[in-house]
Chains A and B, each alone.
Chain A
Amino acid sequence: MAVSIEWYLFLSAAIFSIGLFGILTQRNALMFLMSVELLLNAANINLVAFSLYWGNLTGQLFALIVIALAAAEVAIGIGIILTVNRNFDNIDVTEAATMRW
């Protein structure tokens, strides 16, 4: 019995919303990074779901790319967080606000 496409979309939307909520509310940079991961994975779920739905591999391919991208992003992100930590002694994203005008 196949799960109908709507359920995948609901799941994706739910994860996306959680991620978005995380971005808008979290001050901890690690949490922030995880929220971004959630957003990306929400997109991945959509891609894979539609790939299955249409019987087309393009979506899965894109999902793989996004995963690779996410991995790279985490690497860079954690690097940034470490630097932030070194400079500000914490990883609160609202405090690292000196690089503006």
Chain B
Amino acid sequence: MVGALAAGVPLFGPGIEAAELTALFPLLTFIIIVFFGSYLPLKGAIPGIAATGGALLVSLWGVADIATGAGPRHETLLTFVEGVAGEGVTLTFGILIDPLAILMLTIVSLISFLVHIFSLGYMNDEGEIDLPRYYAGLSLFTFSMMAFVFSDNLLMSFVFFELVGLCSFILIGFWFREAGPPSAAKKAFLVTRFGDYFFLIGVVAVLGTFGTAQFAGSESFVTIATEALETGATEGMTTFLGFGEQAWITVIGLLVLGGVLGKSAQFPFHTWLPDAMEGPTPVSALIHAATMVAAGVYLVARMYGFYVLSPTALSIIALVGGFTAFFAATMALVKQELKQVLAYSTISQYGYMMLALGGGGYVAAVFHLTTHAIFKALLFLGAGSVIIAMHHKENMWEMGGLRSEMRVTYLTFLAGSLALAGIFPFAGFWSKDEVLYETLVHGLGGSPVLLVAYTFGALAVVLTGFYTFRMVFLTFHGEPRSELAEDPEPVRWNVKFPLAVLGVLSVVAGFLNMGVLKDIIGEENLFLHEFLDGVTMDADLDAAGLSAHHYAEVLESNFAAGYEVAGLSPLGPGALATVLAVVPVIGAWYLFRGPDVDPVMTKLGGLRTLLMNNYYQDEYQVWLATGVTLPIAKVANKFDQGIIDGLVDGTGGVSLFAGERFRRIQSGVVTNYAALLTLGFLLLVLIFALVGGWI
């Protein structure tokens, strides 16, 4: 293939033409494992690795195809529900492969592949039972995410979005024999289901409004909406409840956003994510880096052409994102468990992606999604390695000094941490900086809301650097603070290999899109930007309404969001971001470097308590469920049993009672019957006499 590239011969087609295999491989694996899992060697790991490896190859081939001019591919695969001619929508499953989709497919298959390999070390080597269920869950998870990624319409997205939720339920609750994991699984599903409730209304509203839920093409709802606003041609669009077009688009956008906030764990739906740490660590890596949490942000990117039509929706996205980035980072400051810190950093990092999307930085968001997938998967797998070594102890205060015993883990974890903190030139620096830069220039262009969001984002950079390196120093530096830490269990190749791959990628992935240096190296050398813009493709991605360029154009149109770009070199903000990132790292080094670490965070006092308790967010949500809904249900039940059923039983009761009394005239004494007979006859005569007028 390389040869063909060099020769300038477009060798495209097979990769993207076969892209559905990325989902079908794992699906097949899932079916195999469900039925034959316990008979397979390694309990289903082998087919899982084969399937995700195959998917990775197909996706990489697809990337190559698009880089050499093929695509986009848009095709209906399966008609789900045939609409009635002229009335009622048709529901289909289709495949849409464009640069965004193929990029995401690559990320998902890569992370899933590495997670499968890591699982050999984390699950098989640790002697876990029920492994077929674990690997079946992973396969189904990968399948759902893949299908979600290449969905060509919103309904299909919803379908697989929900399946992703199911898989997270299965995997988070994998250790169901304990009390914690099933509860966490329930919470994850329930909170995201609450978000999906709004999403489903959004899907239904899109179908009702536009009669189609396609993402791309001239018949897509995105195009219809754009045209309705641009030219006022509203015949393809039916609004409801008397809303105007723009307002209704905003409403739909916000409804769909509900699902996004749920899955991407944005405020106030973030509470499920830290609890989800109850699942096996490789699952956390998969959920956080590439699948479930990424699904939300990916969905906004997927239908970005729709969101750019609504300034209100964009502002809300940016604000929620910026706020979440900051808010989650504050909570990460005080956590004592390794995975908890990472969990809050995930929430925070997805906040950045939302911030970018709301701030008009489509490429920046996708870029950060990419780099974050790599370094967060790395950090989780690294944490998993530490957890193996520590015999499943997660408290960082019992660690320390692991650096010397675990070279590979330490070095790769450090690379991931530098990326997370946004230190030059690691991956996270480039993407986070671009997120902030895009928000800033659009904010300075006349959107003060974005400046507020930017401020949150910039403050979060400081916090990120601090909590990240607090984690690194506590875990790996200083002296061992427990016996376990003095003699950690060694890990095998199946743990080190994924770490090494991801470690290298976290160093180099940033060079995909060196936005800070765009004035120096020229815009055409921003590979990711060019890729997402469809520059490498023969077909016109603008026409399909999927290019970065197209989004920017609509974004700046007055009929749509109406953003303006302030002229500002990226170098200044880049330098600022670097300073903001480096200073707290030094601070963390100063505080946590030594052999005897002072638990300095306890000095925060009441604030620390507040942060440890996550601002009591969980409490109020639990209260909403058990303190509000449940009592209402109980009252309803009382009402039902007492009043409604009481009326029913009462009717029966009155009849019974009346009968009970009435039957007493059946005394069994013949004389009484005779008397009644006589009286009855006399009564009849009397009545006839009265009615007949004899008297």
Contacts and interface: CB of A to CB of B under 8 A. Distances in A.
A and B touch in the complex (CB under 8 A): yes
Contacts of B9: none
Nearest to A39: B674
A53 interface: no
B668 A20 contact: no
B669 A94 contact: yes
B670 A32 contact: yes
A26 B671 CA distance: 8
B670 A100 contact: no
A100 B675 contact: no
Judged by DSSP, the binding face of B is helix
Interface string B669-695: 111001100100000000000000000
B671 A101 contact: no
Interface residues of A, dominant DSSP: loop
Interface in B650-678: 663, 666-671, 674-675, 678
B667 A27 contact: no
Contact of A100 (B666, B671, B674, B678): B666
A87 interface: no
B675 A93 contact: no
Nearest to B675: A24
What is the interface residue range for chain A against chain B?
10 to 19
B674 A99 contact: no
Contact of B671 (A24, A98, A99): A24
Contacts of A48: none
A101 B674 CA distance: 18
Interface centre among B663, B667, B671 (most CB of A within 10 A): B671
B359 to A, nearest CB: 84
A3 interface: no
Interface in A44-100: 93-94, 96-100
Contacts of A100: 663, 666-668
B678 A96 contact: no
A42 interface: no
A27 B671 contact: yes
Given A20-B678, A24-B678, A97 B671 contact: no
A20 to B, nearest CB: 6
Contact of A98 (B663, B668, B675, B678): B668
Nearest to A32: B670
Interface in B331-345: none
A23 interface: yes
Name which of B667, B669, B674 has the most chain A CB atoms within 10 A of its CB. Answer: B674
B315 to A, nearest CB: 79
B664 to A, nearest CB: 8
A99 B675 contact: no
A60 B668 CA distance: 36
A21 to B, nearest CB: 10
A24 B667 CA distance: 14
A100 B670 CA distance: 11
A83 B666 CA distance: 21
A100 B675 CA distance: 17
A27 B668 CA distance: 13
A94 B671 contact: yes
Contact of B666 (A20, A26, A32, A101): A101
B663 A93 contact: no
Contacts of B674: 20, 23-24
Contacts of B663: 100-101
Interface in A20-39: 20, 23-27, 32
A96 B668 contact: yes
A5 B666 CA distance: 40
Contact of A97 (B669, B675, B678): B669
Q: Which of B663, B667, B668 has the most CB of A within 10 A?
A: B668
Nearest to A95: B669
A94 B668 CA distance: 8
Contacts of B669: 93-94, 97
A12 B670 CA distance: 24
28 contacts: A20-B674, A20-B678, A23-B671, A23-B674, A24-B674, A24-B675, A24-B678, A25-B671, A26-B671, A27-B671, A32-B670, A32-B671, A93-B669, A93-B670, A94-B669, A94-B670, A94-B671, A96-B668, A97-B667, A97-B668, A98-B668, A99-B668, A100-B663, A100-B666, A100-B667, A100-B668, A101-B663, A101-B666
Interface of B: 663, 666-671, 674-675, 678
Given A23-B671, A32-B671, 9 more contacts: A24-B674, A25-B671, A26-B671, A93-B669, A94-B671, A100-B663, A100-B667, A101-B663, A101-B666
- 4 smallest CB-CB distances across A and B, nearest first, come from A97-B668, A100-B668, A23-B674, A93-B670
